[in-house]
Amino acid sequence: MFKFPSKALIWCLALPSMAANAQFDPAKVAPVPAAVSQRYSDPDVRYTSPGMAPGRKDFTSHEEVLTYSRQLAAQSDKWMRMESIGKSQQGRDIPLLLLSSPSSFQPDKPTVLILGQQHGNEPAGGEAALALAQRLVTTQRSLLEQVNVVIMPRANPDGAENFVRATANGLDVNRDHLLLQTPEAKAIAATALRFSPQVVMDLHEFTVGGRWLDKFSAYAKYDALLQAATVGNMDSKVGDLALKEFVGNARLALESLGQSVFWYHTSSADATDTVVSMGGVQPDTGRNVYGLRNAVSILIETRGVGLGRAHFARRVHSHVVASLAVIQSAAGQGTRLVTAVRGAGDAAAAQACVGDLVIRAQASPGRETLQFVDAASGADRAIEVEWRSALKLRVDRVRPRPCGYWLAATQNEAANKLRALGVQLQPVLREQRVSAERYKVLAEKGGQRQDARGAIASSAAIRDVTVELERFDKVLPAGGWFVSMNQALANVIAAALEPDSQNSYVANHVLDLSETSILRVMQPISP
């Protein structure tokens, strides 16, 4: 496990004096009873990132993130580089930290991508990303001989600066990894396309009081909640590796500190709704979309939303310890991990024209006993709840896997989004007759995208369609694109283009639904 020098300031960076300006208001934090709070002592470890400074009352500002990262890179003896990979909606730089052997990025070694603070009011993940970078270029430097680590410490700069969950336009970036409606999600996708990570970690915090007080008169007990990708069509071998080795090792590392750990779970804000669900099964979150991209994709959440600065050192330390366990797992796997992820991509490509696609799936219903802390006494409370498990999916709709999809030349927006995700599109340069399937709409209604919490923030009305397929021969005109399923991102393609799921390009008004816009092609075609 991981041992850090007690109260040591390892390689303390001299930051210039500056006022933090993240819009966190301590006055809005509801106090937690002492009987509950006293159960969560801070670790005997000190980090040097800005938000961890003694006496700090606010969280790290965006300018402090940039300054600290620049100084860390300058003092790292070329073990770390920093660059900006784009601008947020309010014009802030989106920083990227590249950590690897000083000689060069190592394409034959595993690459780990870490996303911090996609939700702006969950600061521990962003702070931990900075602390983790500092550890990796000092006391944990030997890991960088075995893996590349790519860190986005602040994936939602505007949300973090304003201390709100969503991006500046109100969209949730962690529900935008397939639709790419925000510049923040586009920057993340571009980073993944550039580095092809074998492991993706997404660092968040979960609600401590709020809905749990309303439903059960209790506070969340667990220090950390963990989950791997849980979505239809993903590679089962990589999924098993993620759960058994990577999530398993993160859990063991946290439990060795005496911390309590469970599967990630949440619930709606309705006090009368006592159903509790594991993280969603839709291809929209980073966790699930990167699972479809064949990566070991892991969510790490710590006990934090609603606590303000309380137990911040403990929350950050939990993230650092769990993340280091995942990175060490990647280092231990080495080329086997690279081979496994490549093999998952090859397997996805080989399934073109064969078998079935999962179109819609749900979590499986059951019962589970969760651990809480009583709001009055501070004692443990075991509460049995109606549970929705994402470990086993209940498949609602399947259909045969096509050889690919034809998109009309008019569907530029859909084509560009697919390219941004890394999908290869083949121009159709001449007319040719193919066996195809068209979608016939049987029913349609409006709606809104949903997750386990309820309606997704600021998502527009969707087209909720019910379709059937009709096989026919079609002369494809010259000019469109053939999106072959014979490629590693085949399951990302299906998530985007099959129309009757809430995250599809049809449902979200990116793609028209007619035989002159999109067809399922049931045979390979030539350019």
Among 505, 487, 510, which Cα is nearest to 495's?
505
Query: How many angstroms separate the Cα of 188 from the Cα of each of 59, 217, 449?
Result: 23, 38, 22
What is the largest distance, in Å, between two alpha-carbon atoms of the chain? 74
Query: What is 42-350's CATH number?
Result: 3.40.630.10
Q: How many CB atoms lie within 10 A of CB 30?
A: 11
User: Can you give the pTM of this predicted structure?
Assistant: 0.95
DSSP category for residue 144: G
Q: What b-and-e string marks burial along 360-390, b requiring 16 or more CB atoms within 10 Å of the CB?
A: bbbbeeeebebebbbbeebeebeeebebbbb
Euclidean distance between CA atoms 382 and 222, whole angstroms = 12
Four-residue CA torsion sign, 116, 259, 238, 358:
negative
Euclidean distance between CA atoms 112 and 223, whole angstroms = 23
DSSP category for residue 11: T
Euclidean distance between CA atoms 450 and 375, whole angstroms = 30
DSSP states of 356-386 as a string? EEEEEEEEEEEEEEEEEEETTT--EEEEEEE
Residue 353 has pLDDT above 60, yes or no: yes
Euclidean distance between CA atoms 374 and 365, whole angstroms = 26
The single residue listed with the structure tokens 């990302």 is: 492
Task: Name the percent of the chain in helix, strand, coil, to the closest 5.
Answer: 30, 30, 40
Bridge pairing between strands 481-484 and 404-407: antiparallel
Summarised one tens digit per residue, pLDDT across range 231-271 is: 999 999 999 999 999 999 999 999 999 999 999 999 999 99
Residue 22 has pLDDT above 60, yes or no: no
Euclidean distance between CA atoms 499 and 518, whole angstroms = 10
Residue 394 has pLDDT above 50, yes or no: yes
The single residue listed with the structure tokens 């589970």 is: 368
What's the mean pLDDT when you consider all of the chain? 93
8 Å CB contact between 231 and 292: yes
Span(s) in the chain for CATH 3.40.630.10: 42-350
pLDDT of residue 357: 98
Summarised one tens digit per residue, pLDDT across range 145-197 is: 999 999 999 999 999 999 999 999 999 999 999 999 999 999 999 999 999 99
Summarised one tens digit per residue, pLDDT across range 260-281 is: 999 999 999 999 999 999 999 9
Report the alpha-carbon angle 295-132-105, nearest 5.
55
Q: What are phi and psi of 186, to 5 degrees?
A: -65, -35
DSSP states of 236-255 as a string? HHHHHHIIIIIIHHHHHHHH
Residue 17 has pLDDT above 50, yes or no: no
Q: Work out the pLDDT band at 71, boundaries 50, 70, 90.
A: very high
